[in-house]
Amino acid sequence: MICIGLGGCSTPSKSESMKMTGMFFDTVVQIEVWGGTSEIMDHCEQLCEDYEQLLSPTIETSEISRINSAGGAPVEVSAETAELIRDGIRYGELSDGKFDITIASASNLWNFTDNPDKIIPDADALAEAVTHVDYRSVQVDGNTVTLTDPQAKIDLGGIAKGYIADKMKEYLKSQGIEHALINLGGNMLALGSRYDGTPFRIGLQKPFAQSGTVLGSLSVTDCSVVTSGNYERYFEKDGVVYHHILDPDTGYPVENGLDQVSIISDLSVDGDALSTTCFVLGLDKGLELIESLDGIEAVFVTSDGEVFTSSDEIQ
């Protein structure tokens, strides 16, 4: 998770902030806007609710659930859902399948939130599940989505929060807002800077430490910081940590010596997808990917506490 400290000025009107806090996407959403109105904050909350109803795989009436239950039949969806699925496919191609929006076939077998007995999925069941993990089975024609593998299932959890944060930032800018901080469960997106012109300071959670223990912090203006880590949702059994970031090839949690990856990017949708992608790729291949992309920076934290950055300018 991301920990941040916010300061405000004492002058009235646009220098004063308004906050919205809600529970969406199974996580806490916090939005702080300088110079906003109650109507703007209400609309931000409505955007969260609307996108959850479109994209949540656990809501039976959502568009993602309708695709997953269609048995391979084509499903007409909204332009937003089609756009996000295309983004997911694009990152599947970029990562050679290490980021895969059809991971649900495997991830549905795991329980990282309410599993007191620490039950590990059956090996044969996981082996069968990963045969249906292949982003190339998702076909998008206009706003029509078809799964060529009827048993494949889409889960946009690795990219949706970033997409929604970007859409919320677009809305706030359209309302004349110049300073805001959007936090979708640790996906941080800054609109401009603080009202006093100083950058936002975003702290990076120290892996496996008490919540709020900061490993380091980043100074950011008008950009996104998204972090993925093996300490966010996990359980430990027989000395082995089982976490929610799964290898699409095996269905098991990734084991490559990384604890955390943070991505700094203009678009939060890019940071969301790349943080997962680079975690799965590992330190060397992850850094290689980031260095091949324009306008993207990254911070990697290894299991022995070493920190690697894609640029000496990150601070």
Q: Which domains does the chain have, with CATH numbers?
A: 16-36+160-309 (3.10.520.10), 54-147 (1.10.3980.10)
Give the model's pLDDT for residue 5: 36
Give the model's pLDDT for residue 203: 93
Question: pLDDT class for 212, splitting at 50, 70, 90?
Answer: confident
Q: How many residues does the chain have?
A: 315
Give the model's pLDDT for residue 313: 65
Question: pLDDT class for 315, splitting at 50, 70, 90?
Answer: low
Percent of the chain clearing pLDDT 70 (strictly above): 95
Is residue 312 pLDDT above 80, yes or no? no
User: pLDDT, tens digit, for every residue of 61-107?
Assistant: 999 999 999 999 999 999 999 999 999 999 999 999 999 999 999 99
Give the number of other CB atoms < 10 A from CB of residue 177. 19
Give the model's pLDDT for residue 13: 60
Question: pLDDT class for 176, splitting at 50, 70, 90?
Answer: very high
User: pLDDT, tens digit, for every residue of 3-46?
Assistant: 333 333 333 366 789 999 999 988 899 999 999 999 999 999 99
pTM: 0.92
- Phi then psi dihedrals of residue 29, to 5 deg: -110, 130
Report how far Cα 271 is from the mean position of its chain's Cα atoms: 7
> How far apart are alpha carbons 183 and 308 in whole angstroms?
24
> How far apart are alpha carbons 85 and 249 in whole angstroms?
20
Sheet with 214-220, edge to edge strand ranges: 2-4, 200-205, 214-220
Give the model's pLDDT for residue 298: 97
User: Across all residues in the chain, what is the average pLDDT?
Assistant: 93
Strand runs labelled E in 197-296: 200-205, 214-220, 224-229, 234-237, 240-243, 258-265
CB 13 within 8 A of CB 35: yes
Give the model's pLDDT for residue 231: 93
User: pLDDT, tens digit, for every residue of 103-150?
Assistant: 999 999 999 989 999 999 999 999 999 999 999 999 999 999 999 999
DSSP H or E run through 198 = none
- At a CB cut-off of 8 Å and minimum separation 6, what does 149 contact? 72, 102, 132, 134, 137
Give the model's pLDDT for residue 311: 83
